[in-house]
Amino acid sequence: MSEKTTFKKKFRSGERITGSFLVLPDEIVAETASLAGFDYVIVDMQHGLFGHDTMRRMVAAVELGNAAPIVRVAPGDDYAVGRALDAGATGLIIPLVNDADDVERAVSAATYGPAGTRSFGPMRAMTREGIEYFNSSKDRIVILPQIETLSALENLDEIVRVPGIDGVYVGPMDLSIALGLQPALDSDEPVFIEAVDRVVAACNDAGIVPTMHAGPQLAAKRYAQGFTAVTIAVDISVLKSGFDAALVQAHASPN
């Protein structure tokens, strides 16, 4: 059983897993995050500060540890879907989807024919898997449309039943904005709580995995709400908090 098959089975098993999120263009950060013990590491091509070549190197660096590399692609870019998978990504996050048609198009872009439209050229992926990658890729790739718009909430029941997806990924910042709130990882506002609970219920009904972007302080809460995969750390935030903590400790030291 390959590492990628193992991750998808673990992801779909209902076991609680944790991930980290990378926006800084550095392979050493990617390798360090993977070696820290996360189940998956997300390389962000939507807001991350890097392009394709750096993404490819970061995916390879994540694979040096035990984590599964997942790429969040740029919105509405079917070409980027295939490129991320060709680079060796184990999974995809598809941001800013609004309806089932958006999700179906992304799934098609990630799937070889005749069922999909992905072009065959898995340059790096095939060096690890061989030609068998053509047949096995559909059983190894995790696909997660991101729920973060009002349209996605309105069409949630159709989105979660699109064949080929493994779960959804809640983006709380944009979801908060869409609901008329300030951008935040969490909110006590009923409209936010109801939206989050609705995502979990819809995923459970459809037999897919509810996944959410969070922080370490929110992990227990999200698991208790029914999420089984929670992203708890962003590299740039970890870096800043580490610097802040070092300054506080230094300034508190006795003279």
What gap in Å lies between CA 217 and CA 32, rounded to an integer?
21
* 130 within 8 A of 122, measured Cβ to Cβ: no
pLDDT of 2 over the 60 cut: no
pLDDT at 197: 98
pLDDT at 45: 97
pLDDT category, 208, cuts 50, 70, 90?
very high
Give pTM, 2 decimals.
0.94
pLDDT at 125: 84
In tens, the pLDDT along 143-202 reads 999 999 999 999 999 999 999 999 999 999 999 999 999 999 999 999 999 999 999 999
Angle of helix 27-35 relative to helix 52-64, nearest 10 degrees, comes to: 30
**Domains recognised in the chain with CATH numbers:** 3-144+214-252 (3.20.20.60)
Question: What is the average pLDDT score of the chain?
Answer: 94
In tens, the pLDDT along 21-30 reads 999 999 999 9
In tens, the pLDDT along 212-243 reads 999 999 999 999 999 999 999 999 999 999 99
Q: How far is CA 3 from the centre of its chain?
A: 17
Residues in the chain: 255
In tens, the pLDDT along 17-76 reads 999 999 999 999 999 999 999 999 999 999 999 999 999 999 999 999 989 999 999 998
pLDDT at 3: 47
Catalytic pick from 47, 52, 213, 251? Answer: 47
Q: Is 47 a catalytic residue?
A: yes
